[in-house]
Amino acid sequence: MDTILILDFGSQTTQLICRRIRDLGVYSRVIPGDAPLAGELGEEVRGVILSGSPASVYEPDAPRPDPAVWGMEVPVLGICYGVQRLAQDHGGEVASLERKEYGRAAVRLTEPCDLLEGVPDGFISWMSHGDTILRLPEGFRAVGVTENGLPAVLRHDSRKVYGLQFHPEVTHCEHGERILENFAVRICGARRQWSVEAYLREITPALRAQVGGSTVLLLASGGVDSTVVAALLLAVLPPEQVHLLYVDTGLMRKGESREVGQALRQLGARHLHEVDASREFFEALRGVDDPEEKRRRIGDLFIRVQESSIAAAGFSNEYLAQGTLYTDLIESGKGVGRKAEVIKSHHNVRSPLVERKREQGLLLEPLSGLYKDEVRRLGRHLGVHEETVDRHPFPGPGLAVRILGEVTPENVRVLREADALYLSELKARGLYGEIWQAFAVLLPVRSVGVAGDVRRYGFVLALRAVVSRDGMTADAYPFQAADLLEISAKITNRVPEIGRVVYDVSSKPPATIEWE
C-alpha cells in the first residue's frame, strides 16, 4: 500500500500528522526519527515527513535523521524542527528567536509553489517554535514568509524537498489539510488506498494464518476497543474458537454489565464467561479511602480473578487478544518513538498474564495499527452498536475512583443512579456526542438541605463534562446554564440521598479529568 513515512522527533503533534494523512485515505506510519532508513524504505514509501520536536537543532544531542533521508528519490517534507533540521543539515543557519512565535500567524506567499496550490495568500498558520532559520541553505528558497519576514515555507530549486515552519496538522492552521494533501497526493503521488475495509482485508488472512485451529481468549471490558476486538475475532475466526471473559467488579455503571453481555452475544459470541466478582471487590475495598490504595487493591484483585477464572475454564496454550491501539504502542515506547513518555502508565496495571503471553508469542493485538477514530469506524463496519462505538472512555477501576473516600455497595448504588440520570439527560439533550467524557462524582461530604420543614443532610454530587482531543489536556464543557439547572433538579428530585449538585469547571492541567 502506498505509504507516507513519518520520522518522529518527539513533537506532541506527530500523531496528528499521521492521522490527517490517513484521513485523506493515504496510508501513513510513524517511526523513530533516528531510525536507520535502509529497512524502512520499501517500494511502497512514496514520501517522507520529518516531524517537529521539543529539541533545538543546535543542541549537541539533538535527534538526527539517518543522513540517507536527504539523498532519497522520494519527496521529503520537514515540519517545524524538521525544516530546521533540513536547513542545518544543508549548511544553513538556525538560531534561537528572542521571542518564541506561538499561535496564529499569517503567511505571505512570495512565489508559486506546488505545495501551496489552492492556498490563498495571507492564510493563517499555526506556529509553535523558539528557533528560526537565519540563513537559508544553498539551493533552497523561501516561497512563504511570516509577518516578521521569517521563512515559513521552503523549497529546493530543483528537488522535491520542502519545509514548513508552521504545523499544517493542527486544526487551527487554515488549509493545513490542503497542504498535506498537496504533499502526499499531488507531489508524492501516493494513491488513496487506506480504509478500515482495506485494513480488514489485510488483517483477516494474517489472523487466520497465525491462529490456525487454536482457541483465542479475549478479556472484554465493555469499552470500545475490546468490543471491536471481539467483533473482529468473531467475524474473522470460527466463533467456536473465540472465548470472551468479562469480570463484573460491581464498579460498573448502571445496567452496564448486562448490556455488555447482550452486546457480545449479539456479535455472535458463543463462549461468554461472565464472572460476578462484585462481592470480592467490595470486600477488598472495605475501609479503604486512599486513592492509590484503592487502585492498587482493584488492580491486584482484577489480576487474581482473571487468572483464577482462566484456570477454572481449563485453557492451555490459547492466544490472548487485547485491544491495544497504535497510540498505546507509541505512548508506551514499545513500538515506535524513542521518547518513551509513559504518560498513562499509572492507568494500566501490568498484567503478568499479558507479559507471559507476549513472551510465548501468544499475544494478539489486532487493532495495534489503528487510531481510535479508525477503531470506531471498523466497529461500525463490523456491526458494533452505535451506543458502544460512541461510548465515552471509562477508567479501569470504574466507579471506585469516582467515589471519594470509602467505596460501599450503597455509595455505588447512589452514584449509579445519579450518573445514569446525568448521562441520559445529556443524550436526550443531544449533548453527549459533543462532550468527550462526562460522569458524576460522589463526594464524601454531607451538606445540609431542606426537605419540607426538616433539615436534611445529603451527599454532594459533582458533575464533570470535558472536551478534549485525546484526554491529555481537557477543558470543562461550556454548558448552557439552563441545561445544568434542569439536570441538577432532576438528580436531586430522583435521588433523595443527594442534597446538592456542583459543576466542576477546571481544565486539565492543572486538574485531571477524574477526581482520583
Separation of alpha carbons 391 and 209, rounded Å: 32
Total residue length of the chain: 516
Q: Which is nearer to ligand XMP, 195 or 473 (CB)?
A: 473
Q: Which is nearer to ligand XMP, 213 or 509 (CB)?
A: 509
Measure CA 36 to chain center: 27
Residues near 51 by Cβ (< 8 Å), separated by ≥ 6?
6, 7, 8, 9, 10, 11, 13, 14, 17, 33, 79, 80, 81, 82
Catalytic residue among 80, 113, 173, 188: 80
C-beta separation of 353 from 307 below 8 A: yes
Measure CA 33 to chain center: 21
Separation of alpha carbons 180 and 188, rounded Å: 10
Catalytic residue among 18, 129, 156, 169: 169
Catalytic residue among 129, 156, 167, 243: 167
Q: Which is nearer to ligand XMP, 196 or 466 (CB)?
A: 466
Query: Would you call the peptide bond into 509 cis, given omega within 30 degrees of 0 as the criterion?
Result: yes
Catalytic (active site) residue 167: yes
Rounded to a whole number of angstroms, the minimum distance from the CB of residue 391 to ligand XMP is 12
Separation of alpha carbons 472 and 443, rounded Å: 24
Rounded to a whole number of angstroms, the minimum distance from the CB of residue 454 to ligand XMP is 38
C-beta separation of 225 from 367 below 8 A: yes
Rounded to a whole number of angstroms, the minimum distance from the CB of residue 229 to ligand XMP is 15
Rounded to a whole number of angstroms, the minimum distance from the CB of residue 298 to ligand XMP is 9
Interior CA angle at 21 toward 16 and 22, to 5°? 95
Residues near 186 by Cβ (< 8 Å), separated by ≥ 6?
114, 117
Q: Which is nearer to ligand XMP, 46 or 253 (CB)?
A: 253
How many H-runs (helices) and E-runs (strands) does the chain carry? 14, 18
Separation of alpha carbons 510 and 484, rounded Å: 24
Cell 528537488 -> residue: 159
Rounded to a whole number of angstroms, the minimum distance from the CB of residue 422 to ligand XMP is 15
Rounded to a whole number of angstroms, the minimum distance from the CB of residue 398 to ligand XMP is 9
Q: Which is nearer to ligand XMP, 101 or 516 (CB)?
A: 516
Separation of alpha carbons 176 and 119, rounded Å: 9
Name the grid cell of 309.
477464572
Q: Which is nearer to ligand XMP, 441 or 513 (CB)?
A: 513
Residues near 238 by Cβ (< 8 Å), separated by ≥ 6?
none
Instruction: For the beta carbon of residue 154, count every other beta carbon within 10 angstroms.
Output: 27
Catalytic (active site) residue 80: yes
Query: Would you call the peptide bond into 510 cis, given omega within 30 degrees of 0 as the criterion?
Result: yes
123-135 and 319-321 beta bridge pairing: unpaired
Catalytic (active site) residue 374: no
C-beta separation of 33 from 59 below 8 A: no
Contact set with ligand XMP (CB under 6 A): 347, 393, 395-397, 437, 471, 508, 512-514
The 8-class DSSP code of residue 162 comes to: E
Name the grid cell of 237.
475466526
Rounded to a whole number of angstroms, the minimum distance from the CB of residue 392 to ligand XMP is 8
Q: Which is nearer to ligand XMP, 32 or 222 (CB)?
A: 222
Q: Which is nearer to ligand XMP, 262 or 512 (CB)?
A: 512
Rounded to a whole number of angstroms, the minimum distance from the CB of residue 491 to ligand XMP is 21
- Residues designated as active site: 80, 167, 169
